Copies of this chain bind each other. A is one copy, B any other.
Amino acid sequence: MQPESPADAPLNPGIVFDMVQAHQRSAALNAAIQLDVFRAVGEGPGDVASIARHCEASERGIRILCDFLVVNGVLAKKDGRYVHTPSSAAFLDPASPACMASVAQFLSAPELIQADAHLADIVREGRTNLPGQGTVEPENPVWVMFAEKMAPMMGPMAAPLGLVVLEGNDGPMRVLDIAAGHGLFGIEIAKQNPNARVTGLDWAPVLRVALDNARKAGVHDRYDMLPGSAFDVDFGGPYDAVLLTNFLHHFDNATCVNLLKKVRSALKPGGRAATLEFVPNEDRVSPPMPAAFAMTMLTTTAQGDAYTLSELTAMHKDAGYSATKAHPIPMSPHTIVMGYA
């Protein structure tokens, strides 16, 4: 994000030019990932010729692309050679276990970026230009891709979420993971507490991804599957905890309240609903990442939003929860918001 430019900032035409040209930054990152530039920089000597050879690309193209990546802080340049920054080594080199290249692929999927060319119309209409309910249409294949590609971004949030949900509880418990996706959040609970049994709820093709991940984590014998829509299926239960990660933001207030009621009725007395959300401050324009996330909800949903803590607290109250507590996750744009039944 740009450094802030409040009402008393000095005149700067560069901020306009930079914003007009920002689309080049996304294109450059995607091209570099497609061409395997970040692996070439990690493996090789880092000169233009050897990167171009690795990527089977022209030297002019590679030089200009790599310089552009340096300008944008996702490579560095030392004595004419390109080297990783700590962040590009960790998050963009496919040799790193934390590589987020698949996240970039998901977020650059044609159905997500086509909105750019139609944004004025979307603002006029006040809703996604995708058919029906946008990305939350039943069985939308985008969620299989989400489950497969977004794990590197969501993975680091799993451990803190598990700690907050378990609060040291290592006894037998049942946890429902609504819109499980990649399944990493429920799986983390099962890893942290060997006596926890987890039920993943999502569309059947998505749950296959979650089950694969449960198997890799060695917890699949305590991982049950509940295929379908969170609005339609019987949750079963009762559960000690229900996870609602990256889910409420797709819907309007009334739909969220109704879902939270349904969740509460599936909770044991004293149980808790754990939402993971982009939660902007009450001003709705800070911090940058959670605040900017509302734009994605405008372009991909009919009525979703990035809800503030006061809005989420009101939803909890309207749904009959007794208390709400927020836990911002350090070094992440996400907040865990707990509702206590």
Question: Complex: how many Å from CA A57 to CA B121?
Answer: 8
Chain B residues positioned under 8 Å from A59 (CB to CB): 126
A76 within 8 A of B: yes
Whether A13 lies near B153 (C-beta < 8 A) is: yes
Question: Chain B nearest CB: distance from A262 CB in Å?
Answer: 25
Please state if A295 and B64 are interface contacts (CB–CB under 8 Å).
yes
Among the listed stretches A1-9, A219-227, A236-244, which one makes contact with chain B, having 4 or more residues with CB under 8 Å of it? A1-9
- Give the nearest-CB partner of A59 in chain B: B126
A27 CB contact (under 8 Å) in B13, B63, B119: B119
A309 shortest CB reach to chain B, Å:
16
Question: Chain A's interface: helix, strand, loop or mixed, by majority?
Answer: helix
Give the distance to chain B from A26, nearest Cβ to Cβ, in Å.
4
Quick check: which of A87-95, A181-189, A203-211 contacts chain B, the rest being far away? A87-95
Chain A residues in the interface with B (C-beta under 8 A): 1-31, 34-35, 55-65, 67-68, 70-74, 76-78, 83-88, 90-92, 98, 100, 103-104, 107-108, 113, 115-117, 119-120, 122-127, 153, 156, 283-286, 288-289, 291-292, 294-299, 303, 305, 331, 333
- Shortest 7 CB-CB contacts between residues of A and residues of B: A58-B126, A5-B73, A61-B123, A31-B119, A27-B116, A22-B25, A23-B26
Of the A-B pairs whose beta carbons lie under 8 Å apart in the complex, a sample of 22, sorted by A's number, is A1-B72, A2-B73, A5-B87, A8-B86, A13-B90, A16-B74, A16-B100, A16-B103, A22-B23, A23-B26, A24-B116, A24-B295, A27-B119, A31-B122, A57-B123, A57-B126, A61-B298, A64-B123, A64-B295, A65-B123, A71-B292, A77-B285
